[in-house]
Amino acid sequence: MKRKYLLLLLVTVLLLGCTSSLEKKKVDIGLEEKDDIQLVENKSIPLEKTSDINDIVVNKQFIFLSDSQKKLVHLLNKDNYKIIKTLSAKSFNMDLFTPSGLFATDDMLYMLDNVHKQIIQYNLNDDTHKIIQLSKLDTIMLNTFMSITIVNKKIFLSLSANKNEANCIYEVEENGQLKKVVKGFIGYLNTVDNSLVATNAYYHKQDKEGTHITTGDSRVMLVNDKNQVTAYQLDSKVAPYKMYQLGNFMITSSLGTASIIKYDIKNNTSKVIYSMKHTGVEDAKIGMLAVDKDNTVYLIDNSNHKLMKLVYSDAKYLDEY
């Protein structure tokens, strides 16, 4: 009899251990309406009015802009903000090229190409490139690769498709095969402290007229090296782009509120630190942002077609970061 109870106890302990390792934490983080403005415009660089910048990343030398409308990727000098190089389909011996998500190291630029469903790995030192051909998806399915990042030499990307089961975070294996890591995801990826940070901004809404992508399912997810997820629900008005670290905080630009929001994940609080309401734009369309190592924030203003450099309005705030 004792042996039977001991066996039951052992099984129970093992089951509890398995359950806890797969547990998903979900905490609501509300949006504090009172503006706590800390970022101000330091410099503004005009962009072409016909441009549609859908991603921005920076490294020690360059600012990279992905223009899906003109099907170009621009490399800007960080000192004078002048375009020093433009990458097009011809740069890679192709007829067509539609860039979307970008990821940059000091030596390499990774570009998602939605025409050929591939990753272009461009060497910034010698202008050579390699192609990572991604595995074929359902040809009937409309799909767009949205975002790319690299964590500990592993490439991750996100996909938006008209089939909900395909909306996932994928790990790209060496042969280009896509392995699902997080299911039910439409949004953006970034690397923070060698960890994958994902922001879910959209969800599919189906009605009699068909399938529509809309905002509302706003979450930030921290994914560890075992692909376990800790999820934080954001205010439904927020439609976040990439999440970046700024000192002890996380920040993102929000299409839904036309603002930059600072998140204190540890204490489950948030504050607006920059708002496009103050630009005089009636229909403000905020874009992607990028954060440099010196805490400089670069923001795309899609309403006025400009690249903005934002800095802190008061030196005392630097101590917080």
- The predicted-structure confidence for 125-154, as pLDDT tens digits, reads as follows 999 999 999 987 765 456 788 999 999 999
User: Looking at the domain assignment, is residue 41 inside a domain?
Assistant: no
* Res 285: pLDDT: 83
User: Looking at the domain assignment, is residue 273 inside a domain?
Assistant: no
* Res 275: pLDDT: 87
Domain hosting 95: range is: 48-257
Written as one letter, the residue type at 96 is L
User: Looking at the domain assignment, is residue 242 inside a domain?
Assistant: yes
User: Looking at the domain assignment, is residue 289 inside a domain?
Assistant: no
How many independent structural domains does the chain possess? Answer: 1
User: Looking at the domain assignment, is residue 241 inside a domain?
Assistant: yes
User: Looking at the domain assignment, is residue 122 inside a domain?
Assistant: yes
> What is the β-pairing status of strands 229-234 and 25-29?
parallel
- Residues of the chain scoring pLDDT < 50: 1-25, 140, 315-321
User: Looking at the domain assignment, is residue 142 inside a domain?
Assistant: yes
* Res 209: pLDDT: 63
* Res 266: pLDDT: 79
* Res 197: pLDDT: 97
User: Looking at the domain assignment, is residue 165 inside a domain?
Assistant: yes
User: C-alpha distances in angstroms, 167 versus 52, 203, 288?
Assistant: 24, 9, 21
* Res 27: pLDDT: 54
* Res 109: pLDDT: 98
CATH number for the domain including 200?
A: 2.130.10.10
- The predicted-structure confidence for 50-102, as pLDDT tens digits, reads as follows 888 999 999 999 999 999 899 999 999 998 999 999 999 999 999 999 999 99
